[in-house]
Structures are given as C-alpha cells and as structure tokens.
Amino acid sequence: HNARQAMNIHEYQAKELLAKFGVPVPAGFAAMSVEEAVAATEKLPGPLYVVKAQIHAGGRGKGKFKELGPDAKGGVRLAKTADEVRAAAADMRGNTLVTIQTGDAGKQVN
C-alpha cells in the first residue's frame, strides 16, 4: 500500500527548499508584516518589486480581496518604490483573498 500525503507549503518555503539544493530561484524575502515588506526593498536590487499574498491557493493574481473594492488589484502586485510596496502589503495583510481555488470563503492573508 502506497499512501500519499499532500505537502502544503507556501511559495517562499518552496523557494528556500529549492535553493538549498542548488536550484536557481529569484531573490526574495517572506515578510510577516508591512514593515518587513518595506525593509525587503533595501535588500533587493529593484527597480521592480513583486508583492505576493502567501495563501495556500492558486490564482492569487486574479483573486479579489473581500474587504477592498471591486476595482482593487489582486494578491500579486508590482511595485516600483518602497511606498508602493507598503501600500500593496497594507492592502493584503489581514484581508481575505478569494481566488478560483479558495471558494467564496477565501483565505486570510497573515
């Protein structure tokens, strides 16, 4: 009998694991707060930053946040400055992202 167990890891965790085994991955930092996201801009080359909501679901870029208006951007955003990173992270943190994989309940971005 060959039981299979699904592995639920976030994108940043997968990148860390791949890098550990020598697989090239883009530079990035997991931020657990808006301030950590802003601080990451100091460590990355820029001039373009990608702020991504970390939830266990696909379709984050096309997703919508329940708490934001219908015209708000989804869970993957491009930013050119630390202020834009701050705004994107503040929009995401603590809010509920609804994607094609989450169902109507969505998942909270922590």
**pLDDT at position 2:** 67
| 1, pLDDT greater than 90 | no
Q: State how far the alpha carbon of 105 is from the alpha carbons of 51, 62, 65, 98, in Å.
A: 22, 16, 11, 7
Question: Do 74 and 56 contact (CB within 8 A), yes or no?
Answer: no
How would residue 3 be classed by pLDDT, with cut points 50, 70 and 90?
A: confident
How does pLDDT run across 9-61, given as a tens digit for each residue?
A: 888 899 999 999 999 998 899 999 999 999 999 999 989 999 999 999 999 99
**Orientation angle between helical segments 34-43 and 82-92, nearest 10 degrees:** 150
pLDDT tens, 61-92?
999 999 998 899 999 999 999 999 999 999 99
